[in-house]
Chain A
Amino acid sequence: NAGVTQTPKFQVLKTGQSMTLQCAQDMNHEYMSWYRQDPGMGLRLIHYSVGAGITDQGEVPNGYNVSRSTTEDFPLRLLSAAPSQTSVYFCASSGRKSNTGELFFGEGSRLTVL
């Protein structure tokens, strides 16, 4: 029972490089989201999706792109990495479009931008 799978777990980038963080879930969840976790700031929502073909911005979307071509996958793209994007990134999914459902989180992707 895989749940939410994130890859890679660790990544080091140079300023200006681009990369994609992958997220896949096998629970047929409609709702998927990306958060970043920074010390002393908790988790902040970057982007979210309520179904294939539908995405929307969260609290801190700048510098990130997302797409949702399938129910299972929700990749997060960093277009031109900056040191301020050094963080731990979590993908999460929920079985309900409404906000009553609990989130299932992946194990996280630790990104360092030099």
Chain B
Amino acid sequence: AQSVAQPEDQVNVAEGNPLTVKCTYSVSGNPYLFWYVQYPNRGLQFLLKYITGDNLVKGSYGFEAEFNKSQTSFHLKKPSALVSDSALYFCAVSANTGTASKLTFGTGTRLQVTL
């Protein structure tokens, strides 16, 4: 069975500092990996994905993530955090089966960016 672990319930960072939100995964075969963001009382929004190719993936709002196969990780990063980045972030994985998605989500990490 596939799974995702987000070890931190909350990450606190000051505006202007770099941020990292951690994600590790377990899946049979090659993974498809995603990051989504959820603002209060809203649905999830897609940030970025890794399917194949370059291990460093760039996404929306200046976010990027690095796929590390040996460590089975897909950490989300941003060089300079903004207060408006404060939200709930979800990592998700699915197996590279080529069929319809049974995407498995992590439990989410709340990012709090302060002035």
CB-contact partner of A90 in B32, B34, B43, under 8 A? B43
B29 → chain A closest CB, angstroms: 12
Which B10-31 residues have C-beta < 8 A from chain A? none
Comparing A12-20, A63-71, A76-84, A93-101, the segment that makes contact with chain B is A93-101
Interface check A40, CB cutoff 8 A: yes
Whether B43 contacts A58 by the Cβ 8 Å rule is no
Residue A45 is within 8 A (CB to CB) of chain B in the complex:
yes
B103 interface residue, CB < 8 Å from A? yes
B44 within 8 A of A: yes
A residues bordering B, Cβ < 8 Å?
Answer: 4, 31, 33, 35, 40-45, 48, 50, 56, 58-59, 90, 92, 94, 97-108
The 10 closest A-B pairs by CB, nearest first: A105-B43, A99-B101, A102-B46, A99-B94, A42-B105, A43-B105, A42-B107, A50-B100, A105-B44, A107-B43
